[in-house]
């Protein structure tokens, strides 16, 4: 299986987002680098709105991710509730 990744800036907004991603994707590996975090995962990775909302205690629009997003790979499938990255191999 190929790996996908998502990279986010390290800041107060992303702390809960990263925590949510790690909780929803037990197979993911979190690499901390200067000023950024790169989360790698075999096959696919899902960012779930409801998990983030539970952690931050307010409504969250998944498109808010754009503000702190650095990079990603894989095919993107975004709905109101989930953003999934995946490769078809």
Partner 1 sequence: MDMKVSKKKLGLKEKYQHMTRGLGWETTYQSMDDVFPFVKYEGIKIHDWDKWEDPFRLTMDAYWKYQAEKERKLYAIIDAYAQNNGHLSVTDARYINAVKLFLNGISPLEYMAHRGFAMTGRQFPGVGPRVACLMQSLDEIRHAQTQIHSISNYNKYYNGFHEYRHMLERVWYLSVPRSFFDDAVTAGPFEFMVAIGFSFEYVLTNLLFVPFVSGAAYNGDMGTMTFGFSAQSDEARHMTLGLEVIKFILEQDPDNLPIVQQWIDKWTWRGYRVLTLVGMMMDYMLPKRIMSWKEAWEVYFEENGGALFKDLARYGIRPPKWLDQIEQDKDHISHQAWATFYNYAAACNFHTWIPTDDEMDWLSQKYPNSFDKYYRPRLEHWREEAKKGNRFYNKTLPMLCQTCQIPMIFTEPGDPTQICYREVDYKDNKYHFCSDGCKEIFEHEPEKYIQSWLPVHQIYQGNCFNEGVDPTAEGFDPLAAVLDYYHLNFGRDNLDFEGSEDQKNFDEWRGMATKNV
Interacting residues with partner 1 (CB under 8 A): 2-5, 7, 9, 13, 33-36, 58-61, 63-64, 66-80, 87-89
| 24 versus 40: smaller Cβ distance to partner 1 | 40
Compute the least distance from the CB of residue 68 to partner 1, in Å: 7
Compute the least distance from the CB of residue 23 to partner 1, in Å: 21
Contacts of 44 (CB under 8 A, 6+ apart): 4, 74, 84, 85, 86, 87
Query: Residue 72 — left, alpha, or beta (φ > 0 → left; ψ -120 to 50 → alpha)?
Result: beta
């Amino acid at each position: 299986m190929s790996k996908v990744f998502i990279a986010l800036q390290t800041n107060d907004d992303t702390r809960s987002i990263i925590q949510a991603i790690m909780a929803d994707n037990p197979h993911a590996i979190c690499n901390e680098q200067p000023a950024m975090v790169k989360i790698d995962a075999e096959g696919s990775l899902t960012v779930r709105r409801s998990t983030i909302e539970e952690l931050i205690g307010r409504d969250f629009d998944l498109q808010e991710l754009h503000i702190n997003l650095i990079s990603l790979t894989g095919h993107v499938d975004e709905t109101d509730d989930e953003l999934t990255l995946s490769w078809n191999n």
